[in-house]
Amino acid sequence: MIEIGTQVDLAHPADRVWHALTDPGLLARWFTEVDVVGDASKRLLLHTVGLPGFDATVDAEVTDWRVAELVALRCQEVDRRTLLTCTLGPTADGCRLLLRESLEGGDWPAEDRARRQECYEQALTGRLPAILDWLAFQQVDLRRGDMDATAVLPVVAADGRGPAAGRRRRVALVGVAGFLLIAGALAWTVLPSEPEPAAGPLPATSPSATASSTAGATSRAPRASSSRRTPTPGESIPAPSATPAGAPSRGAAGPTPPATAEPLAARYTSKRNRLLGYTGEVVVDNPARVAQEWTVVVTLAEGSTLDRVRGAEWRQDGDTVTFTGPPVPAGQSQAFEFDVRDAAPREKAPESCSVGGQPCAGL
């Protein structure tokens, strides 16, 4: 069976994601305009003309509907018939959305399938998270001292009506709602959450900013690992400690250690982007023949805070975050992810990243 599909983890509850999937006004904001045909709401017209991988308007019939769990559509697009399903499942941080579309009749060239899957991925990882963040923000009470994460805020209608909206209208009567809204948004996004124990989705910054940030991260890295009894990962072992050429073997006491260890390398990727934040991943590669300990130093944009980390231990000092973890085995890699909360929409990446003083690839 010819099939395409993609999935995304979202930091929002399933009922809010379901709202964005099934409300025509919201669907038009992040994917395409939809018309409901008839009174039974079983037939839809998806105006997908012009989207990558779509040839015409899609005539869709709802074949399965389980609130906040599953919606299935049988789609007719000219002479092509497909079955499109969207499935929602809970995760520790929100929910997972799985989209699959399989061919039931007609022809589906490989180029069209690839462009269509790319269209779905861009919508699910870029525009949909932004709409969900916007929905969640409608319920923020600017006078509340307890700033909850968006995942626990209730769902509201697309027009933003609700208790918080009513309070904002009353504040607007005194002429200062605009200032309070901006100040509240900044306070909500800047306020750091309680650090959790370690569990173990843009354009790059300008060369001048990257250079200055990398220099700052490098100068602070020694303080982050000053209490360790082993050298900073990636640092060359001093020549006097190497075994001289031709020296006798240590026999049963163990193999002769290598003269030097190849330096560690790291790669950075922005995995998921949100309106006021993003999820980054760093992969640490160890090309040496011995296990090596590592320290990764990341410099965030000013005013950003770390929200959650998976796969490493960490501490934040101002805009600098230091990550550590178990030694990387010889010839292997180790990855960790971290969620960043931004004070304002900006480029979705840290200003610099380094391992053992060496810049990470990808920035």
Angle between the 128-137 and 14-22 helix axes, to the nearest 10 degrees? 110
The 10s digit of each residue's pLDDT in 143-180 is 444 444 454 444 444 444 444 444 444 434 434 444 44
The 10s digit of each residue's pLDDT in 170-223 is 434 434 444 444 445 444 444 444 444 444 443 443 334 333 444 343 334 444
Tokens at 86, concatenated: 């969207």
Burial degree of 166 (CB within 10 A; 0-12, 13-18, 19+)? exposed
Q: How many other C-beta atoms are found inside a 10 Å radius of the C-beta of residue 182? A: 12
What is the reported pLDDT for 199? 43
Point out the residues of the chain with pLDDT beneath 70.
1, 39-41, 139-260, 343-346
Q: Give me the residue spans of the domains in the chain.
A: 3-135, 150-190, 207-229+261-359
* The architecture CATH gives domain 207-229+261-359: Sandwich (2.60)
Sequence-distant (6+) residues with CB within 8 A of 221 are: 232, 295, 297, 322, 354, 356, 357
- Amino acid at site 32: T
State which fold the 3-135 domain adopts.
Alpha-D-Glucose-1,6-Bisphosphate; Chain A, domain 4 (3.30.530)
Residue 16 sits at φ, ψ, to 5 deg, of -70, -40
What is the reported pLDDT for 331? 93
